[in-house]
Amino acid sequence: MSPAADLPQRALVGNIKNPPCTLCRKRKVRCDGLSPCTRCLRAKTPVICTFIAEPVNDRRPQLPKGAACLPCRKRKRRCDGNVPCQGCKSSRLEDCRYQYDFWTEELSTKPIWRVEKETCVANASPQRQDLDRNSDTSDDISTVLDFRLQCRRNSGPVEPTPGTLYFVFNSTPMYGTPSARVSPLCLTNELYSLRNTFLAHCWQYGLNVTLEKREALSRGETLGIIHPALVNICQLVGYFLAMPGTWIAKWGLTEGEATEARAVSRVLDSPGSSVVHLDATTSMQLHTLFNMYYAIKGDDTRRVTLAHRMQAVYLESPPDIYPDESTSEVFGLPSLAACCPHTPAGEARAAFSRMMTLEIVGMLLFREEPMFDSSLRDTFRLLMVTNATDTEMNFLHAKSALLLLDSRSLVEEWDSAYTLESTTWHKRYELLIEDLTSHLSVAKTPLLELSFIHPAQILTLKTCILMTLAALANLHSLFAPLQPSSRAQHAETIDEMALISSSFVAEDYRYFEATISLAWAVAVRSVSTGTFLPLEEVNEIDAEFDVDGLPGPSQRSLDIIRGCNATFSRWFPFVKEA
């Protein structure tokens, strides 16, 4: 049969407004809108696409009407919002990024949990199958969780994993990693891509968990060693990270974000009613990520409310944030640099450090009053002394931000130094210089000792180093016009900051925190004013320390920092001044 004879049997997918297929678009010819079109049929081009998303009725709930799926957004093409969309169906096989051998209409009309349930039944024992045929299953979430629990018990013994274990249904322990028979739908839907988009940058947003929990979050496991709300919060942050454009917060709240935000809010509003027990460490992780999300969205009311609830959660049931007695830190032995926690105490310490970072960032950027009780800051300062060599990401970030805040307070006191005891101020000045120097060497340790570091961890370490160098430059600038040694140290610090900043590429600015703009602004501050400059004035500063024939910061270093500030302002526009 000729290709023309097959034309009446093909379905018309739309009118002239439908986008052309991939082949016609590449050849820049007119497409008739059929599936497959006439030109593709004559060219014998395969038009099979095996894209599988999470199906709910006929449309995906993750995106509002008119929005596009991830493949269409990356290809910059129109998407109809169906599952799968017509653009994925009409793509050639070599253009489709989801190349699997399974796709049936039967799967496309079933909820994802029901497909997983039928897969577990097929792999279960015959006695279990007879029992399930006679039982009346319900769509209630408790029934689904109960069935998945029983299916996993029938899959064989699983070795227990150390750490926090969650209990479901009469305190039954759930151990370890999921079964090896994972439904392919869990690995190909859009939520899987969103979770891993966030997990690729989770250290920059303050979520630092053990390797076992990161793998479970990547798979989207809702039973085991992680709380289901952590999966929701990862998908929530992944939604606005996947949005196109330069400013990630300029888009409104999509339907998918609203769904995930409601799921997390239900757990935080009534933790006792949750099916899975919510411990203090997980609650702090959820509160910090939720606080960061609303801070980026510009919702200050919810951000402050979550901060007060964070403090209440910590004071009500404080987790063990101190290292175990078996660790080498207690005995004074040198420990290997590690960017991620390995124990429950290390994970709790990472969550507590992130909580302190949010308060310090608000005090640095917006000059807000402290949101937490002073006892929490005293506890963190004690950790800075007892865990001086800790290289965990959140701890380094919080310590760098606190030292930058201390340097700003000390410089502001210099204006009224005539009414203070000069010896007291100078002692604090010298001690802070020593603390910053030792912390700078600790922050550089992972870059020197570890054989492999994730690229997102490298960016977080560079941010910590830049904040520490900015604090040093801020202190050295006080005596730079008078002392040659201070002027030389200030120039070296600025040049080192410019060297680190020049290694950033355009995509890195998308995931930076606003404190890095403050570090750049402090680096080129004016000595005579004694206060931080807004970002607009940073681009107007020249090498004004080059007086009396003594070397100052190079003009090239200042140009690099000015360029970094200008680039970051396009990605983070609402931070206008420090």
Q: What is the pLDDT of residues 401-456, one digit of tens each?
A: 999 999 999 988 876 655 555 678 889 999 999 999 999 999 999 988 887 889 99
Contact 245, 220 (CB under 8 A): no
Q: Would residue 151 count as lying in a domain?
A: yes
Cα separation of 361 and 224, whole Å?
Answer: 34
Q: Would residue 149 count as lying in a domain?
A: yes
Q: Can you give the pLDDT at residue 415? A: 65
Pairing of strands 172-173, 167-168: antiparallel
Position 515 confidence tier, pLDDT thresholds 50, 70, 90: confident
Domain range spanning residue 131? 111-157
Q: Would residue 119 count as lying in a domain?
A: yes
Residues 6+ apart with CB under 8 A from 24: 30, 31, 37, 39, 40
Cα separation of 70 and 454, whole Å?
Answer: 24
pLDDT exceeds cutoff 50 at 239: yes
Position 198 confidence tier, pLDDT thresholds 50, 70, 90: very high
Instruction: Output 32 or 308, whichever has higher pLDDT.
Output: 308
Cβ of 42: how many Cβ atoms within 10 Å?
12
Q: Would residue 185 count as lying in a domain?
A: no
* Closest of 3, 1, 87, 76 to residue 44, by C-alpha: 3
Q: Can you give the pLDDT at residue 273? A: 63
pLDDT exceeds cutoff 70 at 535: no
Q: Can you give the pLDDT at residue 541? A: 45
Q: Would residue 141 count as lying in a domain?
A: yes
**pTM of the full structure:** 0.65
Task: Give backbone dihedrals phi and psi of 65, rounded to 5 degrees, phi first.
Answer: -65, 130
Q: Would residue 28 count as lying in a domain?
A: no
pLDDT exceeds cutoff 60 at 92: no
pLDDT exceeds cutoff 50 at 529: no
Burial (Cβ within 10 Å: 0-12, 13-18, ≥19) of residue 434: exposed
Q: Would residue 128 count as lying in a domain?
A: yes
Q: Can you give the pLDDT at residue 233? A: 93
Number of domains in the chain: 1
Task: Give backbone dihedrals phi and psi of 173, rounded to 5 degrees, phi first.
Answer: -70, 140
The alpha carbon of 322 is separated from its chain's Cα centroid by a whole number of angstroms, namely 25
Cα separation of 73 and 87, whole Å?
Answer: 11
pLDDT mean across residues, the chain? 70
Mean pLDDT (whole number) for 194-217? 91
pLDDT-above-90 percentage for the chain: 23
276 bridge partner residues: none
Q: Any idea which of 230-239, 315-324, 422-431, 490-499 has the lowest mean pLDDT?
A: 315-324
Q: Would residue 9 count as lying in a domain?
A: no
406 bridge partner residues: none
Alpha helices, H only, 242-373:
255-269, 280-297, 300-316, 344-365
